[in-house]
């Protein structure tokens, strides 16, 4: 049950991140709420399954480019999402670059929030010290 809840939470967070990107950039079109949720689902699936494979394959290139190749992989995930979901569209290469940067920054901030979020143990009534 907890796994299912975490999947739904990350799916909704992906929707929020993509909505933020669509709100910031005039060349990113989010479409309807349903299309945004579909884009979030596709984006999450791509980041969960395809992105780790591509990162492994591009590891030698990432060493040579000091990690810049992995930025290209992140851009590719966003571009594939845009290509697969009708209504969610990113117009232009530089918009894609900046949208990828914003997605990375917002995801970084979300990761920090989750790291700072107090965790309650269900097996005991004791809250672990942070």
| pLDDT per position as a tens digit, 70-111 | 999 999 999 999 999 999 999 999 999 999 999 999 999 988
How far is residue 97's CA from residue 85's CA, in Å, rounded to a whole number?
19
Q: Is residue 29 within a helix (H) or strand (E), and if so which, with residue range? A: strand 28-29
| Mean pLDDT of all residues in 29-49 | 94
How confident is the model over 43-59, as pLDDT tens digits? 999 999 999 999 999 99
Contact 69, 48 (CB under 8 A): no
How far is residue 62's CA from residue 64's CA, in Å, rounded to a whole number?
5
Question: Which residues, 6+ apart, have CB-to-CB distance to 118 below 8 Å?
Answer: 127, 130
CA–chain centroid gap for 32, Å, is: 19
The pLDDT of residue 63: 97
The pLDDT of residue 68: 95
């Amino acid at each position: 049950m907890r796994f299912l809840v975490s999947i739904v939470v990350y799916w909704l967070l992906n929707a929020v991140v993509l909505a933020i990107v669509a709100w910031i950039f005039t060349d990113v079109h989010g479409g309807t709420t349903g299309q945004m949720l579909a884009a979030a689902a596709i984006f999450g699936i791509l980041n969960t399954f395809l992105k780790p494979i591509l990162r492994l394959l591009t590891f030698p290139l990432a060493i040579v480019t000091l990690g810049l190749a992995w930025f290209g992989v992140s851009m590719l995930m966003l571009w594939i999402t845009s290509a697969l979901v009708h209504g969610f569209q990113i117009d232009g290469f530089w918009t894609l670059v900046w949208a990828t940067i914003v997605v990375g920054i917002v995801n970084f901030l979300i990761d920090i929030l989750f790291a700072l979020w107090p965790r309650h143990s269900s097996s005991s009534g004791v809250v672990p010290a942070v």
